[in-house]
Amino acid sequence: MEKQENEMKEFLANIVNVIRGMDYIKSEDVPNIDLYMDQVTTFMDEQLEGCKRHDVDKILTKTMINNYAKNNLLPSPDKKKYSKEHMLTLLFIYYFKNILSISDIQSILNPITERYFNGKDFNMEDIYDEIFKVEDIEAGKFFKDIAKKYKQAQETFTDFPEEDQKMLHTYSFICMLSFDVYVKKMVIERLIDTMGENADHPAESDAKEE
């Protein structure tokens, strides 16, 4: 039992270190001056280094960014220069693209950029700050949930051969995490579909608001 508890503490400590290394970019850390493409990719590579799984992985390439602009996912740069709001929008795209399709990201992000990109009262920086100000609270919940699932995984396969249990515990833990991701992804996709249904019937939506 003591060995199991020590292994759990060591595992969770490693997870904490990984998550801290992936700490989100604060809006005040994003340059307030317009940047050229090379400066954009350099900034993203430096700031999101901790998010890489392998050293050779690319964060955001020139081709990716150009495609985002061509597909109207990212507002076009002004004279080949990207503003702070461009950078914050790119960060949203980066976080979304690991779990959602480009078309789904468009469904989520386009209404936001159309309304708030270079907005007068509120802009993309306000949106970004509002989303991430609850980061510490959510991080605490995340660690508790991970610890709970890890403990549950260690309690599975008790009747199986002892030499296989470590492998099976890891498999059980991965399955628990995967199911959690699957369900949340399904909920996100249903929300996106609902947004599309509402967009198809603007008159009906307006009538309800009135």
How far apart CA 192 and CA 2 sit, in angstroms, is: 46
Q: Which two tokens stand for residue 83?
A: 């503003």
Q: Sorting pLDDT into bands at 50, 70 and 90, what band is 98?
A: confident
Confidence check: pLDDT of 28 > 60: yes
> Each residue of 37-73: pLDDT tens digit?
999 999 999 888 878 888 888 889 999 999 999 988 9
User: What gap in Å lies between CA 133 and CA 127, rounded to an integer?
Assistant: 10
Distance of CA 62 to the CA centre of its chain: 20
Distance CA 8, CA 87 (A): 38
pLDDT tens per residue, range 118-128: 999 999 999 99
Which residues are CB-neighbours of 196 under 8 A, at least 6 positions away? 107
Does residue 99 have a pLDDT over 60? yes
CA distance 77 to 79: 6
Q: Is the pTM for the entire model greater than 0.75?
A: yes
pLDDT reported for residue 205 = 34
Q: Determine the residue type at 205.
A: S
Q: pLDDT tens across 35-46, in order?
A: 999 999 999 998
Q: Which amino acid is at 139?
A: A
Using CA atoms, how far residue 141 sits from 131, 134, 171, 181, 184, in Å, is 16, 11, 23, 15, 15
pLDDT, tens only, 114-156: 999 999 999 999 999 999 887 767 777 888 898 899 989 999 9
